Structure 1
Amino acid sequence: MPSFKIAPFVQAPLILLIAMISMQSSGSFAKYLFGQFPILTVSAMRLLLGALILALIFKIWQISFKQVKWAAILSYGLALAGMNMLFYLAIDRLPLGIAVSFEFIGPLSVALFYARQKADFIWVGLAVVGLILLFPFHQAAEPLDPLGIILALGAGACWAVYIVAGQKPSGVSGNHTVCLGMFVAMLLVMPIALFAGMPTQVFEPGNLLYFIILAVLASVLPFSLEMIALRNITALSFGTLMSLEPAIAALSGFVFLGESLLWNQWLALATIITASIGCTLTTQRRKQRAA
């Protein structure tokens, strides 16, 4: 029988694609919960349940804690906490499309920093053009909340640190790194959420089920898959490929929510996808030539 195997250079982008789809599908759950609970409560519960689920799945008690490089874990967890908390706070003050556009300055900055060849700058440049085209200028006619912009840029900065920290050796497996990092993130966000006021009804069975679903779709699945991808892909490729996220968000809105796309947004999707594919192929060909 013929065996169907995915080529190694396709595996990491495919894993990232699944992670991004999972992350975007969690948006409807997050919006539903925003209407019932404080934003920081949603962020803290997402991290708490995500950490607990990962601890059970990956048997955190089997970790040799003497081998853990805590500097790497702490930087990863700090980035994770900031990325989640700041972005949720940003979309409370800014339209979602504008907040995402500002946030993506982070991963694109990483891609640009690691760019070395002319082709690298071409693909990163295309991704930037795509994000600009995706920017909802018709919403920008209204004054933008300066604090919201700062929060979104802060989330992007944390995302950049997350990309770099995720590639550093942590002394444990990638799955255990995600698990420990999420516990660190939860320990940072939970006190803030409690101080801001966390309603007790979050632990009611019905509400808890929603938070579990959110934790799986928004944290457990995407962060675990991203950690696997980060072990097998360059920071340049990761930063450029992640520019597919707003394209997936726009496409999901069209398919599931009936949101119509403008001509410039369709062009943006094509531009971003072209940049992502081009960056991946160029990087892999360079690796093959070096080998």
Structure 2
Amino acid sequence: MQAATGTASRLAQSVPPQLWFGISAVFHYLGPAFAVLLFPSIGVLGVAWLRIATAAAAFAPFTRPWRTFAVADIETRLLLVAFGACLALMNCSFYLALERLPMSLVAAIEFVGTIALALAGLRTGRNLLALVMAVVGTFCLLDPQWASDPAGLFWALLNGVLFVGYVVLGHRLAHRGAGGGIAGLGAAMAIALLFVLPFGLREATTALTSPILLGAAIGVGICSSVIPYICDQMAMARLPRASFALMLALLPLSATLIGIIVLRQFPDMRDVLGIALVVSGVALHRPPPDPPG
């Protein structure tokens, strides 16, 4: 068992962190795109509940969240509780925003909150230019017509704030020893389930009586919370936080492409310009060198 774990760890380390991020960027919106299709049948909070429950159940057998939490020190326990609460609220607000707004807009607002994190890591004029390009591109994706839906914008803004918390807390978790990394992620997901338990269970029972809906909801949970969160932890462990924050500018591109394929939400020329600026900014960025040792 230990040999297999060591082999898996070496394989994970051999994959460039940018590739881990790229996989996460695809699944970050692929799962939610399919979730939108389930909203009429299960309900928004029901889908959110099933997403978190699926992820918690998937992580539990090999991360043993109860053990991770029990052996962690006080600081790590507080981090796990904070991260779990953030995951629960972020997933719910994200789906409530997707119910009302196009995916590309929600993704653009999600990135706006990480701008401060990227600014904190600026070291060169090149990276400043990269950030400016990414920010301008993101604002090109913000269509003023959607300002007429204040509830949708509220949930999208709340999701953006919580996404900053996800990056900050997730980065801290990725760099901790015992109780960190994938094991910590499993514990945090179990805690997230406890937070969301009272809110979506009633709606989720609709899927529990339908094998087709339940299978679809489980697929959404795997695509939305298992694959991308694991990939994020792999990337966060090896990328400076500011570099990871700027790479999040690729999320509007990912969301737009998946919105076209799955939801038939087609971009206009302004959206295309915004996407091009975002991608160019991320390509231009150069992360700071790794610290010695």
TM-score (norm 1): 0.85
Residue 162 in 1 paired to residue 169 in 2?
Answer: no
Can you give the 5+ residue segments of structure 2 that lack an aligned partner in the other structure? Answer: 1-10
Q: For residues 77-126 of structure 1, what are the alpha-carbon distances to aligned partners after superposition, in whole Å with 9 as ceiling and x for unaligned? A: 12211211111112223333333322221222321233343333222111
Q: Secondary structure at the match of 1:104?
A: helix
Kindly tell me: are residues 116 and 154 of structure 1, through their superposed partners in 2, closer, same or farther at Cα, counting changes over 3 Å?
farther
Residue 150 in 1 paired to residue 157 in 2?
Answer: no
Contact map agreement 2:69 2:187 (CA 8 A) in 1: no
Pick from 222, 229, 232 the counterpart of residue 223 of structure 1.
229
Contact map agreement 1:16 1:226 (CA 8 A) in 2: yes
Pick from 249, 255, 274 the counterpart of residue 249 of structure 1.
255
> Take 1:151 and 1:256, find their aligned partners in 2: how far apart are those partners?
22
Following TM superposition, by how much is the alpha carbon of 1:34 offset from its aligned partner in structure 2, in angstroms?
Answer: 0.5
Kindly tell me: are residues 9 and 267 of structure 1, through their superposed partners in 2, closer, same or farther at Cα, counting changes over 3 Å?
farther
Residue 22 in 1 paired to residue 27 in 2?
Answer: yes
Residue 45 in 1 paired to residue 50 in 2?
Answer: yes
Q: Secondary structure at the match of 2:199?
A: helix
The aligned amino acid for 1:30 is A
Q: Secondary structure at the match of 2:113?
A: helix
Residue 125 in 1 paired to residue 132 in 2?
Answer: yes
Q: Which residue is 2:97 aligned to?
A: 90
TM-score (norm 2): 0.84
> Take 2:157 and 2:26, find their aligned partners in 1: how far apart are those partners?
23
Pick from 175, 178, 191 the counterpart of residue 182 of structure 2.
175
The aligned amino acid for 2:237 is R
Following TM superposition, by how much is the alpha carbon of 1:12 offset from its aligned partner in structure 2, in angstroms?
Answer: 0.9
Following TM superposition, by how much is the alpha carbon of 1:287 offset from its aligned partner in structure 2, in angstroms?
Answer: 3.5
Following TM superposition, by how much is the alpha carbon of 1:228 offset from its aligned partner in structure 2, in angstroms?
Answer: 1.1
Q: Which residue is 1:112 aligned to?
A: 119
Q: For residues 173-222 of structure 1, what are the alpha-carbon distances to aligned partners after superposition, in whole Å with 9 as ceiling and x for unaligned? A: 4111111111111111121224xx32523213222211110111000000
Q: Which residue is 1:186 aligned to?
A: 193
Pick from 86, 93, 103 the counterpart of residue 110 of structure 2.
103
Q: Which residue is 1:80 aligned to?
A: 87
Q: Secondary structure at the match of 2:101?
A: coil
Can you give the 5+ residue segments of structure 1 that lack an aligned partner in the other structure? Answer: 1-5
Q: Secondary structure at the match of 1:283?
A: coil
Whichever structure has more helix as a proportion of its residues is 2
How many percent identity over aligned positions?
A: 25
Kindly tell me: are residues 148 and 141 of structure 1, through their superposed partners in 2, closer, same or farther at Cα, counting changes over 3 Å?
closer
Q: Secondary structure at the match of 1:232?
A: coil
Q: Secondary structure at the match of 1:243?
A: helix
Kindly tell me: are residues 144 and 98 of structure 1, through their superposed partners in 2, closer, same or farther at Cα, counting changes over 3 Å?
farther
Q: Which residue is 1:3 aligned to?
A: none
1:230-245 mapped onto 2 (5 Å cutoff): 230-245=236-251
> Take 1:165 and 1:10, find their aligned partners in 2: how far apart are those partners?
23
The aligned amino acid for 2:200 is A
Following TM superposition, by how much is the alpha carbon of 1:146 offset from its aligned partner in structure 2, in angstroms?
Answer: 2.2
Kindly tell me: are residues 131 and 178 of structure 1, through their superposed partners in 2, closer, same or farther at Cα, counting changes over 3 Å?
same
1:192-207 mapped onto 2 (5 Å cutoff): 192-194=199-201, 197-204=202-209, 205-207=211-213
> Take 1:38 and 1:198, find their aligned partners in 2: how far apart are those partners?
6
Q: How many corresponding residue pairs?
A: 277
